[in-house]
Structure 1
Amino acid sequence: MAIRYRRATVDGLSVFYREAGDPDRPTLLLLHGFPTSSVMFRDLIPALADEFHLIAPDLPGFGQSDMPTVEEFDYSFDHLAEVIDKFVDQLGLGTFGIYVQDYGSPVGFRLALKRPDQVRAIITQNGNAYDEGLVPEFWAPLREFWADWNPTTEAPVAAALAPEVTVWQYLHGEPDPELVSPDAIALDNALLARPGAREVQLRLFHDYRTNPPLYPAWQAFLRERHPGVLAVWGRNDQIFGPDGARAFARDVPDAQIHLLDAGHFALVSQAPVIAALIKDFAPKYLP
C-alpha cells in the first residue's frame, strides 16, 4: 500500500502529513513526540496500511511542517492541538483512534476532549497522562524551569537540545542498539539545528507545565467515555516510566497494557510487535 506525502494549509500554516490505506477502513491519527516527526511511523504505517486508514501529521515546528518564529506563532500545546483539530476538520475525519507518543499525548488528549464522540480508541506508546509516569529525576530541572524561566534554570533544559541527548533518547533502554536506525536520529538533530528551532523548543519545554494540571480532565474522559486503551510502552523509558502505562487501568479497567523491553522510542525496535497488538486491539473499538 503506497504512502502519500501531502500538505494541508491550516490558518496559513503548511502542515505536512503522511497518508496511507483505504479511507473506508478504520482511521488512526498518528501523533508524534519530541524531537521527531511523522518519520517515527515509517515502519508502522506499511505494517498497518492493509487494515487501516492512517494519517500522520508533523506538528508545527517539527519535521516538514512550517516552523514560524516564536514571534509569529504561539508555541503552546493548546495551539498545537488547535491546529490539529482544524486539520482533522479539513480532512473530514469521522470516528477515529489516536496513537500518541510523548508530545503527541497532550495534543491527542486535548483533541479527545474536543471530540469525545469521535475519538473511540487511544493507543499510547510512552504517551503520558498520569503523574506516576513522570520520572522524577528527569523532570526535576524542567519543574525549576517552569517555576522561573531565567538563564540558570534554562541552561540544563536547553542542554536537552544537544545532539548527544537525541542519541540518548533513542538508545537508552534499548537492549539491542543495532536495531535502532541512525537515520531518524540524524534527521531529528538536523532539524533541531535549524535557525530558530532552539527558541521554538524552549517555548514548548516551558509550556509543558500546562499538561500535568490537565491530567484529571483527561482521566475523567477515560472513565466517562471509556474509549479503548492500548498501552504499548517501552518499560525502560527514563522520561515516562512504566507506572504511567499501568495507571491507565485505573480509569479504563479493561485497558490492554504491554510493557516492552525497549526505551522511549519503543517503535524503532518494536514496530512489528506493536503493529500486531494494534491489529488485535483496534477493530473492537473502531468501525
Structure 2
Amino acid sequence: MDVPTPVSASAAAAPAKASPDPAAAPAVTHHRTASVDGIEIFYREAGPAGAPVVLLLHGFPTSSHMFRNLIPLLADRYRVIAPDYPGFGQSASPDRAGFAYGFGRYADLMDGLLRHLGVTRFAMYVMDYGAPVGYRLALKHPERVSALIVQNGNAYEEGLREFWDPIKAYWREDTPARREALGFLVAPETTKFQYVDGVRDVSRIDPDNWLHDQVLLDRPGNRDIQLDLFRDYGTNVPLYPQFQAFFRARKPPTLIVWGKNDTIFPAEGATPYLRDLPDAELHLLDTGHFALEDKLDEMAPLIRTFLDRHLAAS
C-alpha cells in the first residue's frame, strides 16, 4: 500500500485562532501527588479546571520534566496534566518484589489518576514510552480520546530498527547475560546521547536535562526497574495491530511531530501512521529524540493550532 507523502512543517495550515498573548501572565503549573491503587503518582497540572484536557505522557529516561516548557504555552486554554510513571521522576518507586513494572500496569495507573481527577475525555501527547502507555489506555476507553499528538512514539514494527536489536535479543532469550548486555542504556553517556544525537545545534539543549535524568536513573534499585521495562516493552509489539485498529476505527484527529534524526525511533516509524490515519498532519523535524528540547519554537505553534482547531470548541 502506498504511503501518502508527509506534510512538511512549511505546509502547516494557518492558525485557526490567535496564539496566546505574550504579554499575558504565564500560567501557573502546580506540582501534585495523588495516591492511585496505593502508589504515589506525581503529576504537573495547569490550566482552567473545566477546559478540555490534554494528557502529556513522557518517555524514557525522563519524566513530566520533559514537558515543563510546553505546559505554560497550552495552559491558558487547556487543562494540562503531565504525570510521572512509577520509577520515574517524582513518582514512587515501589520495590520490584511487590510491584510489577510494566506498560499494562502503567496504563492502569494513568487510568486511575484520570479517574481520581474526574477526567472522562482527553487529548493525548505520547512520546517514546508514552506511546504504548497511551495506546493501552486508549484500548481501555477508546471513546474518551479526543485527539492524538504523536512525537517519536512507535506503533509500527517498521520503527523498531537496528537500535532495538539487543533489546529484541533479550525478548527472545530472557537470560542474565542478555539482561546485563542492556546496562549501557542507563549509562550517563547514553542518557546524554538521547538528547544530543541528531541535533544540529547542541547549544540549544540544556545540559541539565541529562544530569537530571541520570541522577534519577542512578537511584538505588532503579537500574533493575529499567531493565524490567526493557523486557516488558516486548509485550507492546503484539498489541500493535490493536493500536492500529483503534486508529482506523476511531479516527482521532492526529498531529505527528517527529524528530526525523532520532536513532531510537527513526522516521520509518512515523510515516506508517498515515496508513491508518490518512488525515493525520505529519511534520518531520530536523532534530533528534527529545524534539521539544530543540524545536519547541516550531512545535508549540503547530500543537497549539492543532488543539485550537480540534478541541477549543469541544
TM-score by length of 1: 0.98
SS of the residue aligned with 2:212?
helix
Partner of 2:242: 217
Instruction: Say which SS state the counterpart of residue 182 (structure 2) adopts.
Output: helix
Contact 1:47 1:272 in 2 (8 A): no
Unaligned runs of 5+ in 2: 1-26
Q: What is the rounded CA distance, in whole Å, between the counterparts of 2:260 and 2:279 in structure 1?
A: 20
SS in structure 1 of the partner of residue 143 of structure 2: coil
Q: Would you identify which runs of 4 or more consecutive aligned residues in structure 1 move more than 2 Å?
A: 283-286
Shift of 1:176: 0.7
Contact 1:44–1:272 under 8 Å retained in 2: no
One-letter amino acid of the counterpart of residue 33, structure 2: R
Find 1:50's aligned residue among 76, 94, 107.
Answer: 76
Aligned partner of 2:217 in structure 1 is 192
Cα distance in structure 2, aligned partners of 1:70 and 1:285: 41
Deviation at 1:94, TM superposition (A): 2.5
Stretch deviating more after TM superposition (210-219 or 21-30)? 21-30
> Residue 267 of structure 2 aligns to which amino acid in structure 1?
P
Q: 1:145 aligns with which of 163, 170, 182?
A: 170
**Partner Cα separation in structure 1 for residue 31 and residue 63 of structure 2:** 13
Match of 2:7 in 1: none
In structure 2, the residue matched to 1:236 is: 261
**Mapped partners of 2:272, 2:306: distance in 1:** 19
> How many angstroms does 1:132 deviate by?
1.2
Deviation track 1:127-161 (CA, whole Å, cap 9, x = no partner) reads: 111111112x1011001111112232123311111
1:267 equivalent in alignment to 2:292: yes
Conserved 8 A contact 1:31-1:100? yes
Please list, as runs of the form range in 1=range in 2, the aligned pairs for 1:103-122 lying within 5 A after superposition.
103-122=129-148
Aligned to 2:10: none
Letter in 2 for 1:214: L
Amino acid at match of 2:44: R
Q: Give the partner amino acid of 2:277.
A: V
- Higher mean alpha-carbon deviation, 248-257 vs 43-52, is at 43-52
Q: Shift of residue 55 of structure 1? A: 0.1
How far apart in 1 are the matches of 2:178 and 2:225? 17
2:176 and 2:216 mapped to 1: Cα distance? 24
Which secondary structure does the structure 2 equivalent of 1:190 belong to?
helix
In structure 1, distance between residues paired with 2:179 and 2:137: 30
What is the alpha-carbon distance in structure 1 between the residues aligned to residue 101 and residue 28 of structure 2? 33
Whole-angstrom CA distance in 2 between matches of 1:273 and 1:47: 12
Secondary structure at 1:246's aligned position in 2? coil
Deviations 1:220-262 (A, max 9, x none): 0000000011110000001111121111111011100000011
In structure 2, the partner of 1:173 is: 198
Alpha-carbon distance between aligned partners in 2 of 1:274 and 1:27, rounded to the nearest angstrom: 19
Q: Retained in 2: the 8 A contact 1:27–1:52? A: yes
- The structure number with the bigger radius of gyration is 2
Distance 1:109 1:164 in 2: 30
Partner in structure 1 of residue 54 of structure 2 = 28
Q: What is the number of residues matched between the two proteins?
A: 286
Q: Alpha-carbon deviations, 1:156-184, whole Å to 9, x = none?
A: 31111101000001100011111111112
Query: Are the equivalent residues in 2 in contact too, given 1:227–1:285 (CA < 8 A)?
Result: no
CA distance in 1, matches of 2:273, 2:310: 17
- The counterpart of 1:276, out of the listed 301, 311, 314, is 301
Displacement of 1:72 in angstroms is 1.8
